[in-house]
Structure 1
């Protein structure tokens, strides 16, 4: 019998809590590992009426033969053949491009850090003209803080370009971005489900540390410094902004990150994350488990497909 939902995933540990929540609820599901997957573009077969993508943009850190762009094609194929795909190809297209994220956020009228986009490292110095230092150079496709370097001077950046030590992005697109001092030394990550606010956490943001992943599998990595995080209730205007961004990006589930510029108090949105594996130790941090809400959302999608 075909499962009710298929979960396309890449990381071997991150989604054990989701699978456990599905099993507990009695939802028939198939976990499909992306790494060794093959598909026939002429086949109309789908693995389940509902598909949930849990493809991490940081997968290139774990496998040089990552499946980011493969997954985009696969999810589009399944959707074209009738599957209800959550966080599908359109979401991957946004999730895999910081440049597209900032463009989308700006189009909605929300503030973003000053940024310039290039597709050649040789153009970084020209793109940085008019910026104050320090500044950041970011890989367009990152994840877990990967591909972000802070430069203190134009000379340091020029030398890094010459030495070919600037960040590299798997799509070769790079961003020059203003280094924004975060008020209170922290950022706010607002998680959304179905385009609505789910919860928010405040995460400590060190000056030169950009790996702010608050999930169990991140926090538990050997040698990784502990980060401070706590549940917070953002201002209503921040929640409204996160919901509008999530809806515009087509997120079924995912996060929106914002910091408050300590120089003038302006909220600056800088990241849309289509992969939410939720906060570590949710019962203690939040007082409830967001996986239960996600399973509710999946069950509603299964019921809707069954009624079609």
Structure 2
């Protein structure tokens, strides 16, 4: 094979599940941990496949500038025409829900009514303008459901915003969004690898909004409902067998339009059965308990996809060389 697989990330705990699969397949790889580093623009990048797993929630792990460094590295890689999985467009959507929602709507995918605001008084004004009986606030740059709060009145929002409990998004942008009331407390997350549907997982939201599937979150946050280690009688994550929904075709088209190869996309239905898409996660993780129950493994699919991409790169390089 030509070159190797380069995994761009800022979180070892989330990345080890991928590198274990790369080891199983005996694939050559190298990790680029971009919490900090040096980028020499006078040097060309190595040959290989570059897979970005940069996360919008990096600042919660003390890595506030990792997305900015990753953006610079990806610009460098794209300039040299390297093969990138989840490149600059994917990163742009990962770190901004405003970008996600506008891209989803452009693809004909319905999202909840949302207003973005900067400044505490503007947050209150935005909620009044939204004019919804119940609404949520969330961070524009988030991950794991950071900053999500549910309100049933402007007075309650006003009290929260002016209290020490108020949590500002790392980019300063707060979203005010209509609350979609589901008849049952769960959302659905659809996983895609290589731009193609792999499986859908039902996620129980009865204990909170922060829904990162990674096992590491079980230790870090009790509001991250990821399986049997939490005090609950039923699993929080359950893969839906034989899942079929017309929205899948739209999701695959959306991913292709935005040059995203690997992602998790989440939706919710209201009591009228209407479907709303509210999150695109290009740094997707998978729940081990849910996967083991049905013997489907997302990271293995990712590793196989990267293997196929590396083989294709090798074949292309050899073909080009033969014509010299």
Structure-1-length-normalised TM-score:
0.91
Question: Which residue of 2 is the match for residue 253 of structure 1?
Answer: 262
Q: Between Structure 1 and Structure 2, how many residues are aligned?
A: 305
Q: What's the CA shift for 1:248?
A: 2.7
Residue 137 (str. 1) matches residue 130 (str. 2)? no
**Separation (CA, whole Å) in 1 of partners of 2:141 and 2:221:** 24
Structure-2-length-normalised TM-score:
0.87
Pairing 1:116-155 to 2, within 5 Å after superposition: 116-129=115-128, 130-155=130-155
Q: What's the CA shift for 1:246?
A: 2.2
Question: Which residue of 1 is the match for residue 301 of structure 2?
Answer: 293
Question: Which residue of 1 is the match for residue 246 of structure 2?
Answer: 237
Residue 14 of structure 1 aligns to a residue in which SS?
helix
Q: What's the CA shift for 1:6?
A: 0.7
Question: Which residue of 2 is the match for residue 16 of structure 1?
Answer: 16
Q: Is the 8 A contact 2:9 2:34 kept in 1?
A: yes
Residue 312 of structure 2 aligns to a residue in which SS?
helix
| Per-residue Cα deviation, 1:155-205 (whole angstroms, up to 9, x for no partner) | 122233334644311211121101111232100000011211011100001
Question: Which residue of 2 is the match for residue 92 of structure 1?
Answer: 91
Pairing 1:50-69 to 2, within 5 Å after superposition: 50-63=49-62, 65-69=64-68
Describe the shift of the 1:159–1:181 C-alpha distance in structure 2 as closer, same or farther (beyond 3 A): same
Residue 236 of structure 1 aligns to a residue in which SS?
coil
**Separation (CA, whole Å) in 2 of partners of 1:273 and 1:286:** 23
Residues 164-173 or 114-123, more deviating: 164-173
Q: What's the CA shift for 1:298?
A: 0.8
Describe the shift of the 1:107–1:299 C-alpha distance in structure 2 as closer, same or farther (beyond 3 A): same
Q: Is the 8 A contact 2:212 2:285 kept in 1?
A: no
**Separation (CA, whole Å) in 2 of partners of 1:282 and 1:152:** 33
| Per-residue Cα deviation, 1:100-146 (whole angstroms, up to 9, x for no partner) | 11111111222211111123332112211242232111110011121
Residue 176 of structure 1 aligns to a residue in which SS?
strand
**Separation (CA, whole Å) in 2 of partners of 1:142 and 1:40:** 29
Give ranges in structure 1 of 5+ residues lacking alignment. Answer: none
Pairing 1:1-308 to 2, within 5 Å after superposition: 3-44=3-44, 46-63=45-62, 65-129=64-128, 130-163=130-163, 165-206=165-206, 209-221=208-220, 223-224=222-223, 226=230, 228-232=236-240, 233-262=242-271, 264-281=272-289, 283-306=291-314, 307-308=316-317
Q: Is the 8 A contact 1:183 1:259 kept in 2?
A: no
Q: What's the CA shift for 1:215?
A: 2.4
**Separation (CA, whole Å) in 2 of partners of 1:235 and 1:195:** 16
Give ranges in structure 2 of 5+ residues lacking alignment. Answer: 318-324
Q: Is the 8 A contact 1:73 1:89 kept in 2?
A: no
